[in-house]
Structure 1
Amino acid sequence: MTRALVDVAATAQIRARIADRVVGRQREVDLLLAAVSAGRDLMLEGPPGTSKSTLLGTITAEWDIPLVFVEGNADLTPSRLVGHHNPARVLREDYSADNFVEGPLIEAMRTGGFLYIEEFNRAPEDTLNTLLTAMAERVITIPRVGSVTALPTFRVVASMNPYDNIGTTRLSTSVHDRMCRLVVTYQDAAAEREIVKRRTGIDSARVTADAVAVTRATREREDIRQGSSVRGAIDVALLASELAQMRGVTLPEVDSIDPPRGLPEDYTNVMLDAMLVALSGRIHLDDTAFETPEAVLQEIWQDHFVLLPAAAEPG
Structure 2
Amino acid sequence: MTTIPTNVSYEGLGEEVVGREREVELLLAALQSGAHVVLEGPPGTGKSTLLRAVANRQHVPFIFVEGNAELTPGRLVGHFDPAQVLAQGYTPEIFVDGPLIEAMRSGGLLYIEELNRVPEETLNVLLTSMSEGEVHVPRLGAVRAAEGFCFVAAMNPYDSVGTARISGAIYDRTCRIAMGYQTPEAEGRISELRAPDVPREWRLKVIELIRSSREHADIRVGSSVRGVIDMIKVADALARTRGVDVSDWHLGLDAATVALSGRIRLHESTTRTPEEVVRELYEAVFGREPREDDDSSGEA
Question: TM-score if structure 1 supplies the norm length?
Answer: 0.88
Which of 116, 123, 142 is the matching residue for 1:128? 123
Match of 1:64 in 2: 59
Matches within 5 A, 1:55-204: 55-204=50-199
Higher helix share: 1
Match of 2:279 in 1: 298
The 2-side partners of 1:240 and 1:114 are apart by 39
> Shift of residue 206 of structure 1?
3.0
Give the CA RMSD over aligned residues.
1.8
> Shift of residue 133 of structure 1?
0.6
- Deviation per CA, 1:191-234: give whole Å up to 9, x if none: 10110110114242134223212111111101001011111110
Where 1:117 maps in the other structure, the secondary structure is strand
Matched, 1:229 2:224: yes
Give the stretch that moved more between structures: 144-153 or 171-180.
144-153
> Shift of residue 48 of structure 1?
0.6
Match of 1:26 in 2: 21
The 1-side partners of 2:203 and 2:68 are apart by 35
Which of 267, 272, 277 is the matching residue for 1:286? 267
Match of 1:259 in 2: none
Kept in 2: contact 1:50–1:184 (CA 8 A): yes
Where 1:186 maps in the other structure, the secondary structure is coil
Which letter maps to 1:45?
A: E
> Shift of residue 172 of structure 1?
1.6
The 1-side partners of 2:135 and 2:52 are apart by 25
The 2-side partners of 1:251 and 1:283 are apart by 23
Kept in 2: contact 1:71–1:117 (CA 8 A): yes
The 2-side partners of 1:210 and 1:235 are apart by 14
Matches within 5 A, 1:210-249: 210-249=205-244
Identity %: 48
The 1-side partners of 2:223 and 2:15 are apart by 25
The 1-side partners of 2:184 and 2:103 are apart by 36
> Shift of residue 96 of structure 1?
1.9
Q: Aligned residue pairs: how many?
A: 291
The 2-side partners of 1:206 and 1:88 are apart by 63
Match of 1:257 in 2: none
Match of 2:291 in 1: none
Which letter maps to 2:27?
A: L
Give the stretch that moved more between structures: 30-39 or 163-172.
163-172
> Shift of residue 158 of structure 1?
0.7
The 1-side partners of 2:198 and 2:191 are apart by 10
Which letter maps to 2:114?
A: E
- Deviation per CA, 1:53-105: give whole Å up to 9, x if none: 11101110121012211111111100010001122222333222122111111
Where 1:169 maps in the other structure, the secondary structure is coil
Match of 2:254 in 1: 273
Kept in 2: contact 1:189–1:212 (CA 8 A): yes
The 2-side partners of 1:4 and 1:40 are apart by 12
Give 5+ residue unaligned stretches, structure 1: 253-266
Which of 4, 7, 10 is the matching residue for 1:15? 10
Matches within 5 A, 1:42-61: 42-61=37-56
The 1-side partners of 2:283 and 2:107 are apart by 52
The 1-side partners of 2:156 and 2:15 are apart by 27
Question: TM-score if structure 2 supplies the norm length?
Answer: 0.92
Kept in 2: contact 1:19–1:26 (CA 8 A): no
Give 5+ residue unaligned stretches, structure 2: 289-298
